């Protein structure tokens, strides 16, 4: 049987970063509420000319630089922060990356699960024709109302993955466990820029999905829990992954050391929630920061509110560290510009669903920018004019420790 899986993987994020200590001070709460209670320290936040298209393209560009576009006949763009009700965000990315016209491009949506749906679709395409490679992009910007309980769990990131036969990084095994339950734990109406969430119900639905997907995984013949060496969970905030791990341990009756999760938190803790990208950001952290994973099995739990969940596993390939983008990811985290709280609140309040014509200011220093709306159509371009605002560099120490 042909091995199929993740051949390459890259992470990108937005121009700005907000310190949760600043948010805590403004709210009059102990910073430990966020650092320990949520397991979060910072959250990426978009500049006016950042969005899911620009950070998605920024994640995908290094993959094309390394591997070229030969064999890529499909781009799958997963997001729940879509910029258009009809046109795929992937089509904008297709043009920015200079891909040929012989590439099918679509957008997938099911809350935070969409990235896993895209990965599974890519695996099927490659299984049908192993000569093909598929570019999967998961890109999201998590937004909640100002002063709401969800506000400190905002964030933004994109992950791009090249899916192919004979992968260099992670072979995805064929067995999966799935669980779908209709529940109103989280959603974003089409007329709203922020999500609506029932925190208690969402946690309950998440934990229910862990055991539901696990039971189906075992029923399909998947390996037992003690044959999985690392777990990576979807991380709306990193503390939730800890709860999921403890819940799975109680359900299976097997002690699962929480220490095995720590590496998967390194990026998410300082990026915040990135919805469809969150699970794969955690995977990137594990692959970037652990040296002895070759031949081991990683379990991946994907959850999308509403809700759909899935457990899959992958075998880490020999030489995976040779393909690491650890330095590039650390540089992207360090390059974020710290956003003062008043400026953050003003930017947050200014976000709108309006399609009125507008020219966006040049702010982001990422490779691509949202140029504005003309004739009610969105326009994107490479970033050629660097931002003139003085940069306050944020060291990535907590992401690398």
Please give the chain's pLDDT, 401 residues, in tens. Answer: 789 999 999 999 999 999 999 999 999 999 999 999 999 999 999 999 999 999 999 999 999 999 999 999 999 999 999 999 999 999 999 999 999 999 999 999 999 999 999 999 999 999 999 999 999 999 999 999 999 999 999 999 999 999 999 999 999 999 999 999 999 888 788 888 888 888 888 889 999 999 999 999 999 999 999 999 999 999 999 999 999 999 999 999 999 988 889 999 999 999 999 999 999 999 999 999 999 999 999 999 999 999 999 999 999 999 999 999 999 999 999 999 999 999 999 999 998 877 889 999 999 999 999 999 999 999 999 997 443 333 333 443 444 43
Q: Is 282 left (phi over 0), alpha (psi -120 to 50) or beta?
A: alpha
CA-based nearest residue to 313, from 120, 40, 153? 120
Which pLDDT score is estimated for 190?
82
What would the pLDDT profile of 26-51 be if each residue is shown by its tens digit? Answer: 999 999 999 999 999 999 999 999 99
Angle at 323 between CA 319 and CA 328, to 5 degrees: 150
Residue 239 phi/psi, 5° resolution?
A: -60, -30
Domain 4-170+324-400 CATH class label: alpha beta
273 marked as binding residue? yes
**Residue 259: per-residue pLDDT:** 82
**How much is the pTM?**
0.93
Q: Is 344 annotated as a binding residue?
A: no
For tokens 């974020």, what's the residue? Answer: 336
How many Å separate Cα 29 from the centre of its chain? 28
Q: Measuring CA to CA, which residue among 118, 82, 141 is closest to residue 274?
A: 141
Q: Where are the domains of the chain?
A: 4-170+324-400, 173-319
Residue 179 marked ligand-binding = no
**Could you list the active site residues?**
80, 112, 234
Q: CATH number of 173-319: 3.30.450.20, 3.20.20.70, 3.40.47.10, 3.40.800.20?
A: 3.40.47.10
Which structure tokens are listed for 294? Answer: 């070759």
- Whether 4-170+324-400 shares its CATH topology with 173-319 is answered yes
Q: Is 34 known to sit in a ligand binding site?
A: no
């Amino acid at each position: 049987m042909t091995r199929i899986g993740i051949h390459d993987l890259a992470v990108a994020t937005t121009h700005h970063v907000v310190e949760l200590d600043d948010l805590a001070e403004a709210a009059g709460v102990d910073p430990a509420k966020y650092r320990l209670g949520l397991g979060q320290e910072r959250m990426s936040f978009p500049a006016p000319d950042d969005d899911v298209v620009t950070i998605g393209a920024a994640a995908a560009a290094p993959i094309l630089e390394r591997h070229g576009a030969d064999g890529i006949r499909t781009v799958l763009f997963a997001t729940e922060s879509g910029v258009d009700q009809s046109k795929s965000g992937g089509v904008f990315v297709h043009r920015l990356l200079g891909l040929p016209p012989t590439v099918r491009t679509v957008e997938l949506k099911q809350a935070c699960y969409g990235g896993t749906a895209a990965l599974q679709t890519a695996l099927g395409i490659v299984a049908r024709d192993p000569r093909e490679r598929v570019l999967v992009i998961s890109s999201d910007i998590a937004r909640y109302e100002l002063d709401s309980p969800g506000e400190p769990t905002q964030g933004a990131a994109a992950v791009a993955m090249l899916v192919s036969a004979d992968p260099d990084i992670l072979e995805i095994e064929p067995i999966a466990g799935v669980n779908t339950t209709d529940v109103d734990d989280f959603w974003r109406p089409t007329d709203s820029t922020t999500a609506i969430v029932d925190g208690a119900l969402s946690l309950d639905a998440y934990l229910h999905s862990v055991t539901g997907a696990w039971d189906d995984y075992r029923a399909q013949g998947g390996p037992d829990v003690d044959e999985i060496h690392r777990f990576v969970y979807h991380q709306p905030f990193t503390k939730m992954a800890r709860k999921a791990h403890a819940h799975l341990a109680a359900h299976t009756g097997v002690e699962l050391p929480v220490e095995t999760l720590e590496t998967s938190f390194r990026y998410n803790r300082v990026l915040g929630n990135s919805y469809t990208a969150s699970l794969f950001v955690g995977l990137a952290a594990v692959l970037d920061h652990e040296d002895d994973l070759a031949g081991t099995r990683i379990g991946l739990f994907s959850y999308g509110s509403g809700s759909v969940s899935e457990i899959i596993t992958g075998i880490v390939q020999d030489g995976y560290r040779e393909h690491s983008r650890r330095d590039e990811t650390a540089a992207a985290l360090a390059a974020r510009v710290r956003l003062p709280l008043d400026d953050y609140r003003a930017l947050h309040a200014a976000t709108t669903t309006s399609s009125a014509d507008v020219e966006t200011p040049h702010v982001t220093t990422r490779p691509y920018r949202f140029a504005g709306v003309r004739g009610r159509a969105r326009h994107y371009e490479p970033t050629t004019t660097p931002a003139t605002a003085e940069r306050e560099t944020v060291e990535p120490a907590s992401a690398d420790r």
